[in-house]
Amino acid sequence: MKLSQTLLFLVLGAATLPAQTPVPDAPKKKRAPAPAEAGAAPVQVVQSNSLVRVNATSQPYSLHLPWQKESPSGRRGLGVILAGNRVLVTGQMVADATYIELELPEKGQKIPAKVVAVDYEANLALLESEPSERQKAFFAGLKPMAVDSSTRIDDQVDILQTGRVGELIKSELKIGKVMTRRYNVEGSGFLVYEANNIVRSEANSFTLPVVKNGKLVGLLLSYDSKNQVTTILPAPIIEHFLKDVADGSYEGFPSLGMEMQTTLDEQFREYLGLKPDAPGVLISLVMKGGSAEKAGMKKGDILVAINGFAIDSRGDYKDPQFGALSSSHLVRGRAYVGDKAEIKVIREGKEVILSSELTRRKPDDFLVLPYLFDKGPRYVLMGGLLFQELSRPYLDAFGEEQRGGAILRLSRIASHPDKYEEEGRKKLVFLSLVLPTPSTQGYDKLGGQVVNKVNGKEIKDLDDLADAFKNAKDTTHVIELNDFPHILFLDTFNAERDNMRLLDGAYRIGSLKRLE
């Protein structure tokens, strides 16, 4: 029997920095905006005085040697000025940034800036500079740009760039598709526009605004020069982000927290008891702590409607603005955290109506961290054994071609963490590296083993591990692993001696642990 393709349904919650002040004159959040009538906005001439260059220096922590940082690198993009002299850019632009500045394209005048709010899943960030006379002078003559969510398929839009001396450069595109896909973080899908045409290459590449009739309709996500396909982060997602920021308490985009399987295959539909023309998709997994679980959804339910919108066998619904669209947008694009969702399912042949208040899971709520920005990985170093909490960035750093052996085993755990969540683990602690010390002789080829217990204490996160080492009752640390060799022994005195040597050694280790 053929099974249809499994479609992962939006399970992550957005990591954010809290907004410090509300956006001036922003509309009240909690309701998705109604699209404007096509052609209602008057034609305006796009001016470069609504754009500023954004320069950022980025320096992330090393994922494999977590006490170190990688070499710094520079990023440049174009930010869009919004009300209150705030500047909109992509979240990717400011990820792991150690310094951010705004620059006037024509004059070259610069001013430092900081992040007010950032959502790495939605790939959006809002910047501002400290109020001062210098800030007033910098923004004098600059004008905020309005956001327009009325874009539809076949609309003409312009990608804006600035040249070397600040001249405005336009690349005209035509919107060809509207769909949902991942932006910058695995497992999180949002609305995107796809457009076709050649986009001229300039230096400002991390953030580029997309406009129509002088209003912002999106930000450039990616450009495939071979196929001349541009992917655009659209205005409805930008509006959602800005409205959520406006009240000073950013909550992020909600999710249902489930996986669903399409029901296109006739044999599969017959197995499920679905009539040939009946709508619905199979719920193959319900995530712990998500909106779907709180609503009472169960694995094996057939999802047929969300908030009155019928869900077809592909998992799509008919959107009034965009046509056939993934049902994920009903939650991630048209609703806010705290909104009520009515979910209709078929369970054992009977129709069941479920109701849930939409929530989101923060990155720290996941057993395996989905992403890690603006901070270093947590770790504990004992006698040359390096322990970390598993994250997807750690696995991604190896690349697909290197995912063999222990890394492949950890990747499988990351994809199916149910067993470990049921055990009550908060994070998955594993032995990631063995440094050469007298204490680690014979252990040098180990790595990738999940830690179960240390000195008899069950390990649910790195805090447990640190406590277990600190409160050792015997002269030997006993480390119990999930895989071969299953048990490691460290002499407590020798391990402490090796710790001191590591702090003074060639590895530039400034601290034996990071638990914040």
Q: What is the pLDDT of residues 288-309, one digit of tens each?
A: 888 999 999 999 999 999 999 9
The CATH number of 377-514 is: 3.20.190.20
Domains in the chain: boundaries: 48-246, 253-357, 377-514
For range 159-165, the mean pLDDT:
86
Task: Tell me what percent of the residues of the chain surpass a pLDDT of 90.
Answer: 70
pLDDT score recorded for residue 3: 36
Cross-strand pairs, 194: 177, 231
Per-residue pLDDT, 64: 93
Give the number of other CB atoms < 10 A from CB of residue 374: 16
Q: What pairs with residue 487 in β-bridges?
A: 480
Q: What is the pLDDT of residue 17?
A: 33
CATH code of domain 253-357: 2.30.42.10
| Average pLDDT, integer, range 205-225 | 90
How does pLDDT run across 267-291, given as a tens digit for each residue?
998 899 888 888 899 999 898 888 9
- Indicate the class that CATH gives domain 48-246: mainly beta
The least confident of 152-166, 186-200, 297-311, 484-498 is 186-200
Query: What band does 204 get if pLDDT is binned at 50, 70 and 90?
Result: low
Tokens of 515: 């638990």
Overall average pLDDT of the 138-151 stretch: 95
Which pair of structure tokens corresponds to residue 495? 């391990």
pLDDT score of 402: 61
Residue 415's φ and ψ, nearest 5 degrees, are -80, -25
Report whether pLDDT(235) > 50: yes
Task: Give Cβ neighbours of residue 430 (< 8 Å, ≥ 6 apart).
Answer: 387, 388, 389, 390, 410, 448, 449, 450, 451
pLDDT at residue 325 greater than cutoff 90 = yes
CA angle 70, 72, 76 (to 5 degrees): 135
- What is the structure's pLDDT at 74? 94
> What phi, psi does 413 have (nearest 5°)?
-65, -40
Question: What are the pLDDT digits (tens) for 390-407?
Answer: 999 999 988 776 667 889
Query: Looking at the predicted structure, is the pLDDT value of residue 29 above 50?
Result: no
Q: What are phi and psi of 272, to 5 degrees?
A: -80, -10
With cut-offs at 50, 70 and 90, classify the pLDDT of residue 225: confident
Helix/strand/coil (H, E, C) string of 52-118?
EEEEEEECCECCCCCCCECCCEEEEEEEEEEHHHEEEECHHHHCCEEEEEEECCCCCCEEEEEEEEE
Average pLDDT value for the chain? 87
pLDDT band at 153 (very low <50, low <70, confident <90, very high): very high
pLDDT score at 205: 64
Q: What is the pLDDT of residue 96?
A: 97
At 394 the three-state DSSP class reads helix
User: Which residue has tokens 């969540």?
Assistant: 421
What's the confidence (pLDDT) of residue 28?
43
Looking at residue 440, its pLDDT comes to 96
What's the rounded Cα separation, in Å, for the pair 417 and 360? 18
Residue range 400-424: mean pLDDT, rounded: 85
Rg of the chain over all Cα atoms, to the nearest angstrom: 25
pTM: 0.86
pLDDT at position 18, please?
34
User: What is residue 30's predicted lDDT score, i.e. its pLDDT?
Assistant: 45
Classify 183 as helix, strand or coil.
coil
Residue 334, pLDDT > 50, answer yes
Q: What is the number of residues in the chain? A: 516
- Residue 34, pLDDT above cutoff 80: no
Mapped onto helix, strand or coil, the DSSP state of residue 328 is helix
Give yes or no for a contact between 122 and 192, defined as CB atoms under 8 angstroms apart.
no
> Matching CATH topology for 253-357 and 377-514?
no
